[in-house]
Amino acid sequence: MSNLPEKFPEYSIMYKTLSKQIKELEKRKENTHEKELEEIQLKIQNYQMELDKIKKIFPENFFDV
């Protein structure tokens, strides 16, 4: 593995946690009302932005299975 970030374990755990949260929110989104739907979508967008930031820190295709 080349050039892993200094705080590798923390970022890796954070990536996994955020991914799990997004999946849970996507499931929850199916059974919610319109007002809550907007809130859930905003959370998903924020989590996705954080995931993208973490992905940029790691080598290319690091999190791809």
* Per-residue model confidence (pLDDT) at position 35: 82
User: What pLDDT, on a 0 to 100 scale, did the predictor assign at position 65?
Assistant: 59
The CA–CA distances, whole Å, from 39 to 4, 22, 36, 48, 55 equal 34, 13, 5, 14, 24
- Per-domain boundaries in the chain: 8-56
In a 3-state reduction of DSSP, which class is residue 31? Answer: coil
Q: Which residue has the higher pLDDT, 6 or 28?
A: 28
Radius of gyration of the chain from Cα atoms? 14
Backbone angles phi, psi at 8, to 5 degrees: -50, -55
* The predicted structure's pLDDT at residue 14: 92
Instruction: Using the predicted structure, report yes or no on whether residue 7 has a pLDDT greater than 80.
Output: no
pLDDT digits (tens, 9 = 90+) for 35-45: 899 999 999 99
In the block, which residue shows the tokens 């990536």? 15
